[in-house]
Structure 1
Amino acid sequence: MKVFDWYRAAAPAERRTFWGCFSGWTLDSFDNQVLAFLLPTLMAAWHFSRTEAGLIATSSLLAAAIGGWVSGILSDRHGRVRVLTGSIIWFTAFSIFAGLANSYHQLLVVRALQGLGFGAEWAVGAALMAEVINPAHRGKALGLVQSGFSVGWALAAVITGVLVAYLPSSIAWRSAFWVGVIPALVVLLIRRYIPEPELFREMKKATGGATVATWRSSLRKDVRRSSLLAALLVTGLQGSSYAIMIWLPTMLVQVRHLPASSVAVMAAMMSVGSFIGQVSFAYLNDSLGRRITAIAFCLCSVFLTGLYLLIPMDAWLLAILGLPVGISINGSFAGIGPMLSELFPTQIRTTCMGFSYNVGKSLGALSVALVGAVAEHIGLLGSIALFCFVGYFCALLALAFLPETGGRDLASIPSSEDPYDPEDFLKQASPIRR
């Protein structure tokens, strides 16, 4: 099939990098989403409130923001593959500790520490893939890597649903955390055979190995505008997505009054839709451009999310509508990696991507806790809808000012040492060369 021609034409190193990044992002998503499906069980066992449940999820996401920013700086200094390998070891170890927790506060601390490892996976992995793949296929490759999120989400829904259904509750939730050790070993094996990108090695050689990236690099004059707009874009998309994804199982159980088995089916349908959306976005990304595709997906998300949350419907209608909702709310994430990687120079690429993505992620993560708090006053459905709509407004505002970057040559993105104004470059997106 022609849709896979880009993969067949890829070099062995490109293919290994693709599967290493895809499997890493799948594992990251699995470990992150397991908590969402365990919240109803844990809330019943340890008797904590929705606000406290939101705090657990938010603490992990905020820690991921810090970890992602620091990992981006380390990646620009020491290499992409080395930092990614360390992140897998870190969050897998704390997944084991999470399964050993015996109280709400223990789990809160462990998940926060685990979040430090989650943060590295996206920005560093996206930069690694972007620097390896052919520019004409960058949108497809990074978008398909992003679809690993949906695979991890589906695995979390299915595995957690089976464990909760067939094991005693005191053992089921612990087992769900521990299962992630198995795929982590596979990911580490794959990454052993992935080299550092040639573009990164050439940059290090050209600079004599000098350290350029610091915590201030993402606010440097030539990249500040792009960093802040990208952060706003991620804030909107993450805030909307997390508001519905993290609270979906709780909403279906406590508001729609569905059994746990049905919740797993609903989540699986939405995750299938998410996968379809990310794959579709990946291909549209290269053919139509980054901005127009993202804007279209955001507008569809506003409409479909409103239908899903605010109109009463039977369980089978919820399941059917979950597919297009999943397509729209998570499909747009397939475009973030290509767009952000094409905004920043190689010397500080993962530093800026880590800043933009994780500042946006941390601000977006606040919606998780705020949904729980606001739900006490306007109800859970209204609270989720409110934060979804505000999030998409922020994303559309950022997209209105970000440039089209499709097909940009990463090696030609200027740094502050260049004799011409980088702002001029940002206004001129080079066309895709086929």
Structure 2
Amino acid sequence: MAPYFLRNLIPKREQRAQAKPLLQVLAGLTWVQWAHFFCGWLAWTCDAIDFFSVSLSVTRLTEQFKGKNVHDITTAITLTLLLRAAGAVIFGIISDRYGRKWPLVGNLVIVAILELAAGFVNTFEQFLAVRSLFGIGMGGIWGLAASTALENLPVEARGLASGVLQQGYAVGYLLAAVINLRLVPETSTTWRSLFWTAAGISLFAAGIRAVLPESQVFIRAKAAETARGLSTGKKTKIFLRETKEMLKAHWLLCIYAVLLMTGFNFLSHGSQDLYPTYLQSSKGFSANDSTVATIIGNCVSIDHVGGVIAGWVSQYIGRRLTIIIFVCLIGAFIPLWILPSTFGALAAGAFCIQFGVQGAWGVIPIQLAEMSPPAFRATFPGVAYQLGNMVSSASAQIEATGGDNLRTTITVNGKTQDVPDYATVQGILIGVVSAFVLVVTLFGPENHGYHFEKAKTAFEEGGGRGELADGADEGESDSDRPESALKDVEEHVVEKEKA
């Protein structure tokens, strides 16, 4: 008999036997469910705009901070990635303990303030300090955004929603590139205007989340605990005890999730962070042409070709098998990504590589959510994601150092120039990382179609062990939602108040 990790690669037929058609499910969503999903998507889009503001401004930043080269500027990227894990722990714990709404609002406001401050620095040391603090603020967004977007949706819609959600990052990269292409050259403040615009978009996202209600799961849980007469102090003690139980029971799963996200973050940062610099330094493109190529590469998300389709397909063939297919596509397109010298061919290579990268990434939000201990859907995915980010934080510097030591020549305006060979460096890095992701994914777990919204929250007894909330039935159909349980609890509270 085949080993379990192979038998579990494709979901069993009975896991989808009672599922409703996707279009019927989407038509039945309430405006609050749509709004929650949009808010999570927008928050993740803001994260990308904020982060890639540095990647798109590397050349201008070397001009701003005299005596600093590309390697020095990428230190800011590394510090941001290193400190994102701290933000994931802080904001994830607050969210799993108190709810999704206000932690995400505060997270977005902090990010906006720090992004605004980055546009006013005058020295490189100030820039590094602000971007380091920015990493802490940015670290909380992914876990909170994913839980806000997915936990209020029916199971049948989560695969597609996962792909759309994750593509918010590519959309953010695209928006930042467009701002960098059109606004930045027209303003006297140049790169600073990109950072200020990013701050405004984050504040807008915070405002939207502030006017939306709390997640249904937390409304139900808080109402139930209030009915039982538990005080805030008691719930905090329960939360700490359940956190300890979760770590004791799932420590091996935590290690696996970090390994998986390390590979995925190397894929994305290795193919994106230094890409504009690669086109300018190794291929002789202008800043304008390199930005346009970046935009073309990220248009896969707008055309719903990458992660959106991958997320939808994963609902039928499984999460891991979908990831494996798209990672294989990455390996197949590496030559087109690095070998050509013309704009058209390189832009096509960028498009194809991002097709694979964003496709594989499109499955990650739902794969991590289903894999997570259900009471810690903000902390577990967020921390795993950001620890993976931390391990991969030096990807831009690795490529910059590789380019310093591996050189090539190009001809620009009839003159031969000695330049870093970023093409070879990036090709080797992405090839090795793709192989690593394939192996880790193949041997990993999968809880396809898991009803994590029916489990207890982290401040309820049994939450750390993944027990079901009162009245929840794991055997219910995929289209069941927590609204009925919420209504029962609310009626119980009303009756108690009357008594």
SS in 1 for 2:146: helix
Superposed CA offset, 1:316-355 (max 9, x none): 1111222222111122211111111112233322221222
Q: How does 1:279-358 map to 2 (within 5 A)?
A: 279-309=308-338, 311-358=339-386
Return the alpha-carbon distance in structure 2 between the equivalents of residues 255 and 215 of structure 1.
Answer: 52
SS in 2 for 1:286: helix
Do residues 27 (structure 1) and 7 (structure 2) align?
no
Amino acid at match of 1:15: W
Return the alpha-carbon distance in structure 1 between the equivalents of residues 170 and 393 of structure 2.
Answer: 19
SS in 2 for 1:257: coil
Amino acid at match of 2:135: G
Amino acid at match of 1:307: L
Residue 388 of structure 1 aligns with which residue? 430
Amino acid at match of 2:342: D
Residue 65 of structure 1 aligns with which residue? 85
Q: CA deviation at 1:411?
A: 4.4
Q: How does 1:187-336 map to 2 (within 5 A)?
A: 187-204=205-222, 208=230, 210-211=235-236, 212-213=239-240, 217=244, 220-275=247-302, 276-309=305-338, 311-336=339-364
1:110 to 115, 123, 130: 130
C-alpha contact 2:55 2:273 (8 A) present in aligned 1: yes
Q: TM-score, normalised by structure 2?
A: 0.79
Amino acid at match of 1:322: A
Return the alpha-carbon distance in structure 1 between the equivalents of residues 162 and 107 of structure 2.
Answer: 19
1:367 to 395, 406, 413: 395
Q: In angstroms, what is the RMSD of aligned CA positions? A: 2.7
Return the alpha-carbon distance in structure 2 between the equivalents of residues 215 and 306 of structure 1.
Answer: 49
Q: TM-score, normalised by structure 1?
A: 0.90
Residue 426 of structure 1 aligns with which residue? none
C-alpha contact 1:60 1:114 (8 A) present in aligned 2: yes
Do residues 181 (structure 1) and 199 (structure 2) align?
yes
Residue 157 of structure 2 aligns with which residue? 137
SS in 2 for 1:403: coil
C-alpha contact 1:24 1:187 (8 A) present in aligned 2: yes
Superposed CA offset, 1:67-109 (max 9, x none): 1122111111111111110111011101111111112221111
C-alpha contact 1:73 1:213 (8 A) present in aligned 2: no
Q: CA deviation at 1:186?
A: 2.5
Q: In the superposition, relative to structure 1, how do residues 257 and 72 fare at CA in structure 2: closer, same or farther (>3 Å)?
A: same
Return the alpha-carbon distance in structure 1 between the equivalents of residues 203 and 74 of structure 2.
Answer: 30
Do residues 167 (structure 1) and 209 (structure 2) align?
no
Which deviates the most, 387-396 or 106-115? 387-396
Residue 38 of structure 1 aligns with which residue? 57
Q: In the superposition, relative to structure 1, how do residues 73 and 167 fare at CA in structure 2: closer, same or farther (>3 Å)?
A: same
Superposed CA offset, 1:211-270 (max 9, x none): 325897597232222222111111101112101211011001111110111112101011
Superposed CA offset, 1:261-292 (max 9, x none): 11121010111024431111121121221111
C-alpha contact 1:67 1:118 (8 A) present in aligned 2: yes
Q: CA deviation at 1:204?
A: 4.5
Give the structure with the higher percent helix.
1
Q: In the superposition, relative to structure 1, how do residues 383 and 413 fare at CA in structure 2: closer, same or farther (>3 Å)?
A: farther
C-alpha contact 2:336 2:346 (8 A) present in aligned 1: no
C-alpha contact 1:218 1:355 (8 A) present in aligned 2: no
The percent identity for this pair of structures is: 25
C-alpha contact 2:37 2:150 (8 A) present in aligned 1: no
Superposed CA offset, 1:10-50 (max 9, x none): 11220110111111111111111111111011113323123
C-alpha contact 1:251 1:381 (8 A) present in aligned 2: yes
Which deviates the most, 202-211 or 106-115? 202-211
Q: In the superposition, relative to structure 1, how do residues 118 and 214 fare at CA in structure 2: closer, same or farther (>3 Å)?
A: farther
Q: CA deviation at 1:412?
A: 5.6
Return the alpha-carbon distance in structure 2 between the equivalents of residues 157 and 381 of structure 1.
Answer: 21
Q: In the superposition, relative to structure 1, how do residues 297 and 192 fare at CA in structure 2: closer, same or farther (>3 Å)?
A: same
SS in 2 for 1:404: coil
C-alpha contact 1:230 1:398 (8 A) present in aligned 2: no
C-alpha contact 1:274 1:329 (8 A) present in aligned 2: no
Q: In the superposition, relative to structure 1, how do residues 149 and 218 fare at CA in structure 2: closer, same or farther (>3 Å)?
A: farther
SS in 2 for 1:179: helix
SS in 2 for 1:221: helix
Q: In the superposition, relative to structure 1, how do residues 128 and 366 fare at CA in structure 2: closer, same or farther (>3 Å)?
A: same
Amino acid at match of 1:186: F
Residue 122 of structure 1 aligns with which residue? 142
Return the alpha-carbon distance in structure 1 between the equivalents of residues 242 and 334 of structure 2.
Answer: 37
Which deviates the most, 409-418 or 91-100? 409-418
C-alpha contact 1:408 1:430 (8 A) present in aligned 2: no
Mark the structure with the bigger radius of gyration.
2
SS in 2 for 1:192: helix
2:171 to 139, 146, 151: 151
2:441 to 375, 378, 399: 399
Q: In the superposition, relative to structure 1, how do residues 393 and 217 fare at CA in structure 2: closer, same or farther (>3 Å)?
A: farther
Q: CA deviation at 1:4?
A: 5.6
Return the alpha-carbon distance in structure 1 between the equivalents of residues 245 and 428 of structure 2.
Answer: 31
C-alpha contact 2:112 2:200 (8 A) present in aligned 1: no
Gap runs ≥5 in structure 1: 423-428
Residue 6 of structure 2 aligns with which residue? none
C-alpha contact 2:333 2:352 (8 A) present in aligned 1: yes
Return the alpha-carbon distance in structure 2 between the equivalents of residues 396 and 299 of structure 1.
Answer: 8
Q: In the superposition, relative to structure 1, how do residues 128 and 312 fare at CA in structure 2: closer, same or farther (>3 Å)?
A: same
C-alpha contact 1:240 1:389 (8 A) present in aligned 2: no
Which deviates the most, 374-383 or 104-113? 374-383
